[in-house]
A and B are shown apart, each in its own frame.
Chain A
Amino acid sequence: MTDNFIETRLRKRYSAEKRFKIYSVSALILALLILATLISSIAISSIPAFTQINIGIDIKMNDDQILQFEEDPENVSWRSLQKKSFYSMFPDVETRKDKKELNKLLSTGAYIEIKKFYLDNPNKLSDNNIIYVPASDDVDLLIKDIIDRDLPQDMRTISDNQISYLDKLISNNRIKKTLSWRLFSNSDSREPELAGLKGGIVGTLLTMFVTLIISFPIGVLAAIYLEEIAPKNKFTDIIEVNINNLAAVPSIVYGLLGLAVFLNYMNMPRSAPLVGGIVLALMTLPVIIIATRAAMASIPPSIREAAYGVGASQMQVIVHHVFPLALPGILTGTIIGIARAAGETAPLLMIGMMAFIVDVPSKITDKATVLPAQIYMWANNPERSFEYLTSAAILILLVILIMMNLLAILLRKKYERRW
């Protein structure tokens, strides 16, 4: 009787444990599936953005142009050199309208590549050169089979004439697919085939630099005071509750604060990494304070006692023992806080960093934008190519964030101590 009772209970308990295990494993699988879907859909739709179609133009400078180049490369009319050379590859295209259509196969920035070629290769001034220039975004999409050439003409952005020109270029072997390095070397542009992320990446780096410089020392010192020095009373309790609440304040509120205080009252420059960095530093401060306090609280009291026991002062206990031992945890918290700030757009919206800025910023007071802001703006652009560029930019941002988190994990692994 009792044997039977024990056996049923045992069986019940085993099956309950099994069910519990199945629930948790399926939750994990579900989470991983969602993550995998998200990342793979972004990765797949970003693939077209990582290659670029280039059209080769046969170019030979005439003597006048060579003379002009030797005087000053700016004197050369690069646009007309490009047009004339390109038209001469299609002798049967005669009307103005057709020529215009033909020229639309090339990117509006194509002449810049020609100029760059001659600046890099001044010894080839009088040669017959084949110079590859970016194709326009429509050509790009057509060759990548994203625009369907079997559609009726009025349903696609590229005409039958243009397709026939392209076919001639393909049969003449003048189409070349390359990796789009310009994603990293160009800054933003209205033309998808010219748009790059350099401005956003540099802007993000400058902004994060300001954020780190401000939030790390202030956050760590504040945390040291609160954790090690401050007496425990009502006042410090209130401060603690407030800091925890600040960590949960919607980030746009910090943007409003930045707009009201830094731009309107203190007249700091608009759209500048300086202000963006300060605003994001304010947002990151509570995260760093909380992480630092947690890291210091996890240092066993026996280490403090040991240090006090040999006559260390409070400052020596903190500087020689508690802080160095807590540093891995502090760095982890800081990097994760900074990574979160690097992905923010809302606070920057209010201070004008969500803007179309073509120049790459070189100092923290220059006008700049950041990667997430650029992603948002690209997603809003009408050209179809920007759809793929947006995915590529998201992927690049994700890679940067994952690298920062990886760094945090490595630092923790390397300096972690066990007691």
Chain B
Amino acid sequence: MKDVGSMIPNQYKITTSNVNVDYGSKRALHDINLQIEEKEVTALIGPSGCGKSTFIRCLNRMNDLIEGCKVEGKIMIDDVDINSSDTDIVELRARIGMVFQKPNPFPKSIYDNVAYGPRIHGIAKSNEDLDNIVMKSLKRAGLWNEVEDRLDASGLSLSGGQQQRLCIARAIAVNPDILLMDEPCSALDPIATAVIEELINELKERYTIVIVTHSMQQAARLSEKTAYFHLGKMIEYDVTSNIFTNPKHEMTEAYISGRIG
């Protein structure tokens, strides 16, 4: 597969074509075609229930866990179809980190939270190696200075914003190249949100980031490209500044000017 990919160079990290998602008999996503560039932040915006979370969960096949959810269409990541039957989901999810809406650290120590991924994938070769990975991940997530002296404390003892950064550290500890963020700041206060946003700006140098957000300002501040979803359809996808200053579609304009949503 890799050889074929290198023969037909594709500049996009993620390409989806005609992705349809059904929950039982209800269609949640209609024909989504999207190209996501490497090492950029792509924001997905839209009113509640528009399917943006469903879409982001297609990218690491988290929808497989939902009973009665069916995903059709092609999702190519690095020119490999992730929906094909010979894709190893475990390996896929290790390559694509995910951060959820509500901070969800494991009820374990801070160290074990970050070390969990490397442990199950056998990434660390020794204990010192593992210590290094944990330290590096926590540093990248901007949490190291706050927790370096209490790595044995429970992950649940941290504040909400710290917990979310711990979840980011946990996601990047397995060395992914894509980070999916499903409204990572919606449960946080403005100060914690600002810290996470700053962090996302740093992380995009290394990772391709897809972020779902309710806040249009956040999309405008963070992303290079923005996609607007409405009722399961992708209405518009463009460079962020175009979406916010010069939307082509009237529904996009209605949403960003606050008339719907």
Q: Do A and B come from one complex?
A: yes
Give the interface residue-count category, chain A.
20 to 34
* Chain B CB within 8 A of A321 CB: yes
The answer to whether B90 and A311 have CB atoms under 8 Å apart is: yes
Q: State which of B100, B102, B107, B120 has its C-beta within 8 Å of the C-beta of A309.
A: B100
CB distance from A157 to the nearest CB of B (A): 66
The answer to whether B100 and A305 have CB atoms under 8 Å apart is: yes
* Chain A CB within 8 A of B153 CB: no
A342 to B11, CA, bound (A): 69
The answer to whether A321 and B106 have CB atoms under 8 Å apart is: yes
* Chain B CB within 8 A of A173 CB: no
The answer to whether B62 and A310 have CB atoms under 8 Å apart is: no
A306 to B167, CA, bound (A): 8
The answer to whether A305 and B170 have CB atoms under 8 Å apart is: no
The answer to whether B91 and A309 have CB atoms under 8 Å apart is: no
A309 to B98, CA, bound (A): 6
- CB-CB contacts of B50-83 with A at 8 A, as 1s and 0s? 0000000000101001010000000000000000
> Which residues of chain B from 80 to 121 have any CB-CB distance to chain A below 8 Å in the complex?
90-94, 97-98, 100, 102, 104-107, 116-117, 120-121
The answer to whether A308 and B104 have CB atoms under 8 Å apart is: no
CB distance from A82 to the nearest CB of B (A): 67
Query: Which residue of chain A has the shortest Cβ distance to B93 in the bound complex?
Result: A311
* Chain B CB within 8 A of A77 CB: no
Interface residues of A, dominant DSSP: helix
The answer to whether B65 and A304 have CB atoms under 8 Å apart is: yes
The answer to whether A308 and B93 have CB atoms under 8 Å apart is: yes
* Chain B CB within 8 A of A242 CB: no
Given A302-B100, A313-B90, residue A307 in contact with residue B106 (CB < 8 A):
yes
- CB-CB contacts of A298-325 with B at 8 A, as 1s and 0s? 0010111111111111001000110001
Residues of B within 8 A of A321 (CB): 106
The answer to whether B65 and A308 have CB atoms under 8 Å apart is: yes
* Chain A CB within 8 A of B227 CB: no
A307 to B108, CA, bound (A): 12
The answer to whether A311 and B120 have CB atoms under 8 Å apart is: yes
Q: State which of B67, B102, B106, B174 has its C-beta within 8 Å of the C-beta of A311.
A: B174
The answer to whether B105 and A306 have CB atoms under 8 Å apart is: yes
* Chain B CB within 8 A of A234 CB: no
* Chain A CB within 8 A of B171 CB: yes
Residues of B within 8 A of A307 (CB): 106, 116
5 further A-B pairs in the complex, CB-CB below 8 A; given A304-B65, A306-B106, A417-B107: A302-B100, A310-B117, A310-B173, A312-B120, A419-B107
Query: Chain A interface (Cβ within 8 Å of chain B)?
Result: 231-232, 300, 302-313, 316, 320-321, 325, 417, 419
6 contacts between A and B (CB under 8 A): A303-B107, A306-B104, A306-B106, A308-B65, A309-B60, A309-B93
